[in-house]
Amino acid sequence: MRLELRGITKTFGSVAANSAIDLTVEPGEIHCLLGENGAGKSTLMNILYGLLSPDSGEIVVDGEVREFTSPGDAIRAGIGMVHQHFMLVPVFTVAENLVLGHEESRGGVLGWLDRRKARQDVVEVSARYGLPVDPDALVEDLPVGVQQRVEIIKALMRDAQVLILDEPTAVLTPQETEELFTVMRGLKAAGKSVVFITHKLREVRAVADRITVIRRGKVVGQADPKTGVRELASLMVGRDVRLVVEKEPREPGAVALSVRGLSVRDDRGQLAVDDVSFDLHAGEVLGIAGVQGNGQTELVEAITGLRPAQGSAELSGRQLIGASPRTVLRMGVGHIPEDRQHDGLVPDFSIAENLALDEADRAPFGNMLMLDLDAIAKNGADRLAEFDIRAESAQTPAAALSGGNQQKVVVARALQRDPALLVASQPTRGVDVGAMEFIHKRIIEQRDAGKPVLIVSTELDEITALSDRIAVMYRGKIVDIVPSDTSNEELGLLMAGGGAEDAAADEAAPVSDAVPVSDAVPSAAEPTETAETAEPAAAEPADTVPAPRAAESPVAEAEAEPVRDATPEEAPAEESSETADE
Amino acid sequence: MAVATIATPAVLAAPETDVRRRSAGLTQIVLGVVALFAFGLGSRTAHGASTTFGLTLISKQGTKVPDWVFPARPVIVALALVCVLIGAARLAVQLPRGWRLAGTSVVLFCFTFAFMAWSAADPKGGERLIIPSLLNSMVVAAVPLVLGALGGVVGERSGVVNVAIEGQLLFGGFMTALVGSTTHNLFIGVIAGTLAGALMGLLLAVLAIRYLIEQVVLGVVLNLLALGVTGFLYKSLMQTNQSSYNSVSQFDSFRIPGLASIWVVGPVLFDQPLIIYVTVFLVVLVHLGLFRTRWGLRTRAVGEHPAAADTVGVKVLRLRYRNVMLGGAFAGLGGAWLVGNVGNFTEAMTNGKGFIALAAVIFGRWSPFGALAAAGLFGFTAALADQTSSLQLPIPSDLLSTLPYVATLFAVAGLIGRVRAPAADGKPYIKG
Ligand SMILES: Nc1ncnc2c1ncn2[C@@H]1O[C@H](COP(=O)(O)OP(=O)(O)OP(=O)(O)O)[C@@H](O)[C@H]1O
Ligand SMILES: [Mg+2]
């Protein structure tokens, strides 16, 4: 199916999200859409999928002009889509979510559901594509990575001719990303096409046949998939991006945060953090590495007062455990929560209000009785400029922001108060390379100002680039704390529980679908650079990649520029980071 | 961040909080103590008074069952002690969920039974509480509640709050009386009443879904509208000409052979007008529909996450329109019952039943069987107030008739614990 978008224009208020965009998707190609946060990628795709109606422009399918007034029309025309923000019913099972909309029923008019067949179909499709899911699990109980998998299966099950993937890899493990790529190549081979949106430039280079770059609602050009990451980055953002995290070695100061014997239970009452102790010094960044679901989330929630815990965590002598989140905030803890949509924002509040939310009852935003609306508005406008949040104004509701811009609001709020302790979970999830550069810079500034910083990230490269020391968590325990120049191989081993056999026996099992240990380890077979060691990409480890990637290795070899200095996401040290995520 | 406090605290998932355990245990003990002193040791049960429960439903045919007579005080005291013991156990130990539920049910049963035994206690043995009439009036009272609640359930499951149940009952009842009288056919009247309810549903749907009016406010306004319109027409049309515009035949009982002869409950459950069976059938039907069919899957999806349903090609708004109309039809049928049960319409005859039905929706956790159970409970308290009013209780009967409302408050506030409404309930779906 040949798909053509002609002159698509869409404005929200005074924001031109799309202005006269032309885009052609040929059958059998993987077409990457690149663009900074708020460039209009999701808007364009939502128009194509019938969720939004364009102000002008037309959609042409195989030479025929079509009008999609609802996703149903687009689905019937053979278009499938995975949305940036999950479109799953949380209280439904996986199988129910997957059959919704095209339920096969045997009861004729009655529409009796055939649950057994639905379950079988799910098992069959997920096995076929190598994306395992439990059909009977409730979606709300699943970690985000698995929810993402469900979304992908949902789109695949409909046999779409054109599949739109809007940032599907933001929360996937490297293995899952790799499997998704295999699926995408399979679709391509079958003559179907894929529109793929991501901010991880190395992924673009791995799968793209064609790249279209969008900036501020306009197509600014096409790029060759062989283009280097640097070039892609500057094409996207419109300026040179420093992909390196500049960080001078620093002598850490005194112990600022002291955690002793901390144990935390998860929602199901299981021990998620098991007797953890560590020190975080002033002027130090401590990174918490580990496969998702090994207790990082609960550790952060305990320290920020969001979850009851046993043990102690003292910030400059004051106890954080048992304190209310409000008290913790008053002690100067800044928190970037891992799920911005769930914990970070009130969607109907404006950006300015969201930014003032945590200190609305104290200067400068107000007092116990009244809000100072002018101060809130001014702060909003200032942060908007400072963090380059793309919005009409600071009065725009948070819900109207693009995903990456929502993330910037959450980050800005945590940083604006110059926190005595910064706790950042997935600080750069979904932001573009430019914003990532900025956020990383601010985090390092925080450290250089002598503040303690705790970072949790599933991107191992982000951890190694920012941290002074790295604590590796496995099954609720910190198996080791290592210097930041530790090799990814070693980190991979630690994350798989190496050196912590005793911990492995613990009943506090992490999420069932954690990456199999055997997968995590070999892919770490990379030399030991941290992201800032500028060095040619000689070690492009094509041999460590699963089969499909091998085909891409010529491209990788053609890449001679010093990409080794890239920031985590797009560093060609792709395999190394793969150890890290999930 | 401060916002993060909005996140579900982990505590909710914990077994049972101390606060909750204590308050539950104390409440149960208090109920026991009240039963002990007010009922068991009060003057009404003094002088060896005995309680008489009648077991034959006089109005219906059936075998005569002898009265049940027992000494009031010892039985009530024993029941009260059971309540206290269960409450103390709850206070003392962490009980698993199943035990807690069982304990609560036993306490409620004992307390209610103690009250009934007390109310029918009489030293001379003349007073009696006729259990089958109590049950019968419970069934009669429950039917409109069940139908109204069922209407609420199908609407709210798809994301439209229906506060207008009261108005739908009322309008349904009015049209039943009007059409039933003019056509001299109750059946046609019932159909008209049902359609009238659906029409009210359509009005609600258009205003809520298309014009995005705040749904609770809208419901209240529609109730007032129904009250005003039916009141006006009643006064101007029916009151002056009762025989031609406001007189329908009453429902005939439909006796199910065999089952109707079951001891005590047979005549109550199996010798009733057809609508009662239809109501039970509808409950089962809606339950199966909601949880076993495509319609139900889509309905629940639309009520939880309309955008997700939309992205898989479900027509969100169309489904909402249909469900709200269907819900209105159920409530309209409930109104028809009210009229067909007595044979005519009176102004404001629903008297808050629609609101009780709304409570039953929540108490029943948005499920058809839950709504049935809740409506049954509310119907029972109403029946109890009604049946004991002739027994010369020291409690004023006005106060007693607030019983269902108090029960509603308790039920909605405390007993059910944390309930989760459909996530998109009351939220209009607006496409960009
Ligand atoms: N419903 C809406 N109301 C108002 N403005 C909107 C709405 N949806 C999107 N926008 C604006 O349109 C612009 C494009 O948003 P879009 O979500 O398409 O960006 P994006 O390219 O997908 O960015 P990201 O990479 O951060 O996801 C943004 O400036 C955003 O604020
Ligand atoms: Mg987007």
Q: Do B308 and A88 touch (CB under 8 A)?
A: yes
A136 in the same domain as A42: yes
Kindly state the DSSP code that residue B11 receives in the 8-state scheme: G
Nearest CA residue ID for atom 12, ligand 1: A17
> What b-and-e string marks burial along A204-226, b requiring 16 or more CB atoms within 10 Å of the CB?
bbbbbebbbbbbbbbbbeebebe
A564 falls within a domain:
no
Nearest CA residue ID for atom 8, ligand 1: A400
- pLDDT values of chain B reduced to their tens digit, one per residue, 432 residues: 333 333 333 333 345 667 778 888 898 899 999 989 888 888 888 877 888 888 877 766 666 778 888 888 899 999 999 999 999 998 888 888 888 888 888 998 999 899 988 888 887 767 888 888 889 999 999 999 999 999 999 999 999 999 999 999 999 999 999 999 999 999 999 999 999 999 999 999 999 999 999 999 999 999 999 999 999 999 999 988 888 888 888 888 888 887 877 777 777 888 888 999 999 999 999 999 999 999 999 999 999 999 999 999 999 999 999 999 999 999 999 999 999 999 999 998 998 999 999 989 988 889 999 999 989 988 988 888 888 877 878 887 778 777 767 766 766 665 555 667 888 888 889 876
Tokens describing residue A578: 């793969």
Query: Which CATH fold would you assign to the domain B132-415?
Result: ABC transporter involved in vitamin B12 uptake, BtuC (1.10.3470)
A299 in the same domain as A203: no
Angle between helices B72-92 and B97-119 (to 10 degrees): 160
Residues 200-239 of chain A with CB under 8 A from chain B are none
A368 falls within a domain:
yes
Cβ atoms within 10 Å of A201's Cβ, excluding its own: 30
Q: Do A46 and B432 touch (CB under 8 A)?
A: yes
A228 in the same domain as A80: yes
A249-293 pLDDT tens trace: 878 889 999 999 999 988 777 889 999 999 999 999 999 988 777
Q: What is the pLDDT of residue A569?
A: 38
Q: What is the pLDDT of residue B293?
A: 92
A323 falls within a domain:
no
- C-alpha distances in Å from residue A462, one per residue of A282, A289, B258: 20, 10, 76
User: How many structural domains comprise chain A?
Assistant: 3
A428 in the same domain as A296: yes
Distance between CA atoms of residues B281 and B88, nearest Å: 41
A563 falls within a domain:
no
Distance between CA atoms of residues A9 and B35, nearest Å: 73
* Encoded amino acid at A118, one letter: A
- Which residues is A309 bridged to in the sheet? A264
A44 Cα–ligand 2 center, Å? 9
A325 falls within a domain:
no
Compute the mean pLDDT over every residue in chain A, rounded to the nearest whole number.
Answer: 81
- C-alpha distances in Å from residue B268, one per residue of A483, B60, B137, B234: 79, 9, 9, 33
Q: What is the CATH number of the domain that holds A276?
A: 3.40.50.300
Q: Is B41 left (phi over 0), alpha (psi -120 to 50) or beta?
A: alpha
Let me know: does A225 contact A208? Beta carbons within 8 Å: yes
Let me know: does B373 contact B321? Beta carbons within 8 Å: no
| Chain A residue with minimum CA distance to B421 | A91
pTM: 0.81
pLDDT at A503 over 70: no
Kindly state the DSSP code that residue B401 receives in the 8-state scheme: T
Using most ligand atoms within 8 A of CB, pick from A8, A15, A36 the residue to mutate for ligand 1.
Answer: A15
Domain that holds residue A391: 333-418
Measured in degrees and rounded to the nearest 5, phi and psi for residue B48 equal 60, 35
A495 in the same domain as A458: yes
Question: DSSP assignment of A70-101, as one string?
Answer: SHHHHHHTTEEEE-SS----TTSBHHHHHHTT
A474 in the same domain as A388: no
In chain B, what are the domain boundaries? 7-127, 132-415
Kindly state the DSSP code that residue B273 receives in the 8-state scheme: E
B394-406 pLDDT tens trace: 887 778 777 767 7
A433 in the same domain as A294: yes
A173 in the same domain as A113: yes
Distance between CA atoms of residues A258 and A320, nearest Å: 10
User: A343 in contact with B at a CB cutoff of 8 Å?
Assistant: yes
Residues 6+ apart with CB under 8 A from A574: A174, A202, A206
A375 in the same domain as A280: no
A134 in the same domain as A94: yes
A579 falls within a domain:
no
